[in-house]
Amino acid sequence: MIWVVIGAALVIIVAFVTFVVVVLQRLPGRGGAKSTARSEEELNAHRDADEIVARAKTEAQEIVTEAEAKAKEVSKTAREDAEKEIRTLKDDLRPVREDLERREIRLAEREQRLDDEMRRLEERGQKLDELKQSLKERRAELERVEEERRQVLEQAAGLTADQAKTELVAAIENQAKREAALIVRDIENEAREQGEKRARKIVTLAIQRVATEQTAESVVSVLHLPSDEMKGRIIGREGRNIRAFETATGVNLIIDDTPEAVLLSCFDPVRREVGRLTLEKLVLDGRIHPQRIEEIYDHSKAEVEQLCVRAGEDALVELGITDMHPELIALLGQLRYRTSYGQNVLKHLIESAHIAGIMAAELRLPTALLKRCTLLHDIGKALTHEVEGSHALIGAEIARRYGEDEEVVHAIEAHHNEVEVRTVEAVLTQAADAISGGRPGARRESLEAYVKRLERLEEIATERDGVEKVFAMQAGREIRVMVRPDSVDDIQAQVIAHDIAKQVEEELTYPGQIRITVVRESRATEFAR
């Protein structure tokens, strides 16, 4: 192709030269001689130009010929290369074509197999339809036979199917209830044995590791005097000193025939302690008059407040509890002057906290949290003479007000079941409280309350049907219930014991636990003649 372009260019050049020569020939001449000379020159130029054009044509012809030859050669080479490439591609495509042919064969075979499988499935479907129809007919036949059989059975038994079903269900229900009661009894016995064994171990360990003193009943404060003459000075002229003392302290001063002693009585134990301390200082000082009484009362009140704070701090240090609101510490310290059934409340809280901590350690629970819950569970008793309501709810409100955790607040409000127990901490708080209050020597119960509790225990047991006699034993710690064997069976005896225990838990307040034993005895008597 390059040579063809070169040849075309040469042809164009030759044509241009020829055009120039023709133009020169046609130009007009000037003068005779000059025209002749110029004509010769022009002829020579024409001849030279013809020769040049001829040579150019010849060379251009040769170039074109040569270019055509080379073009043919290049075209032939390109054709050969193309044919070779085509053969190579055909050789490369031959395996692909063969693979496609094989796949087409396999696809055809699969289609054939699918067609065969479809035919078999259609045949099976037809067979299944036939089987369904056959089963439907057999079911109808069986229902007819069953209906005939039921009619025959109803005629033979004299009962309809619904009546027989009702009697059967009732019999099965009664049997199931009896078996369920037996299973429940066995499970309860096993759980009670395991629970008592585990609880006995934990409680015993806690009691052994907590050594506390025996408590004594404390109703009033007694102040010993150096002599009976001091009683007159305490009373003062026309009783002005004793009136000023009672007005300032709010404590009743009882002066009787008891030698060298006076009694101080007040509902508020802290106020009673302030009055006792005030009177003691007045006796030691010897100067007793209304102004001096007020001065000593102010000093004694500040001293008792400091003693309360120190007692609360000592309790926290003993239990390893930190970060408590100062108002709670002060209220906690006031409980050192408060008693419950003769038991000092602050000592009861410390003892309960130790027991709860030991049980928490045995059960792998947070010890610090359990001690905090148990230490604060009776904090409301510090304000029961000022605020109306249960000490558990009062204590919970105080703890919530001073930023205690919700677990602690719930344990306080639920330790007497006034709020439903929801946490393990509340349960252990109840257990520690019961252990501390129910241990031997912890509390003293008044005779009137003791008699009323025994009477109510016997009334609760007597109210049950089939009960013949009831005996309260071991100072109200156990109840023996004698039932009539002809009207109460063993299962019913278990139910009676459970109901009595539940009612006792709901109605009565008592330390420790009460055992309810139901005795069912059968006697057979015959006479020999």
Is the model's pLDDT at 512 over the cut of 70?
A: no
Give the confidence band of 16 by pLDDT, cuts at 50, 70, 90. Answer: low
Rounded distance between C-alpha atoms, residue 358 and residue 209, angstroms: 8
Residue 1 Cα distances to 57, 69, 75, angstroms: 20, 11, 10
Which of 88-92, 496-500, 508-512 is predicted with the least confidence, judged by mean pLDDT? 508-512
Has residue 67 got a pLDDT over 60? yes
Higher-confidence position of 389 and 450: 389
Calculate helix-pair angle for 391-401, 326-334, nearest 10 degrees: 150
Which residues does residue 470 pair with via DSSP β-bridges, in sequence order? 481
Cβ neighbours for 490, distance < 8 A, ≥ 6 positions apart: 520
Find how far residue 332's CA is from the centre of its chain.
33
**At which residue do the structure tokens 């015993």 appear?**
204
Strand residue runs (E) in 124-180:
none
* Count of CB atoms situated within 10 Å of the CB of 485: 16
CA angle 491, 492, 498 (to 5 degrees): 95
Question: In the predicted model, what is the mean pLDDT of residues 279-303?
Answer: 85
Weakest-pLDDT range from 22-31, 198-207, 395-404: 22-31
Interacting residues of 411 by C-beta distance below 8 A, sequence separation 6+: 373, 374, 377, 423, 425, 426, 429
pLDDT at 475: 67
Phi, psi (degrees; rounded to nearest 5) at 269: -65, -30
Q: Which residues contact 270 (CB under 8 A, 6 or more apart)?
A: 304, 308, 334, 337, 338
DSSP 101-126: HHHHHHHHHHHHHHHHHHHHHHHHHH
The mean pLDDT of 125-134, rounded to a whole number, is 89
User: Is there a contact between 329 and 312 (Cβ–Cβ < 8 Å)?
Assistant: yes
Higher pLDDT, 244 or 20: 244
Q: Are 483 and 497 in contact (CB under 8 A)?
A: no
Residue of 363 and 339 predicted with greater confidence: 363
Of all residues in the chain, what percent are helix, strand and coil, respectively (each to 5)?
A: 70, 5, 20
- Determine contact, residues 508/502, Cβ cutoff 8 Å: no
Rounded to the nearest integer, the mean pLDDT of the chain is: 79
Q: Which one-letter amino acid corresponds to residue 58? A: T
How does pLDDT run across 362-396, given as a tens digit for each residue? 888 888 888 999 888 888 888 866 777 788 888 88
3-state secondary structure (DSSP) of residue 461: helix
Between CA 81 and CA 71 the distance in angstroms is: 15
- Measured in whole angstroms, the distance separating CA 5 from the mean position of its chain's CA atoms is 95
Instruction: List, in sequence order, the alpha helices (H) in 320-402.
Output: 326-334, 345-362, 367-375, 391-401
Task: Give the chain's radius of gyration (CA, Å).
Answer: 61
The span from the CA of 197 to the CA of 60, in Å, is: 130
Cα–Cα distance measured from residue 196 to residue 331, given in angstroms and rounded to the nearest whole number: 36
**pLDDT bucket at 74, cuts 50 / 70 / 90:** confident
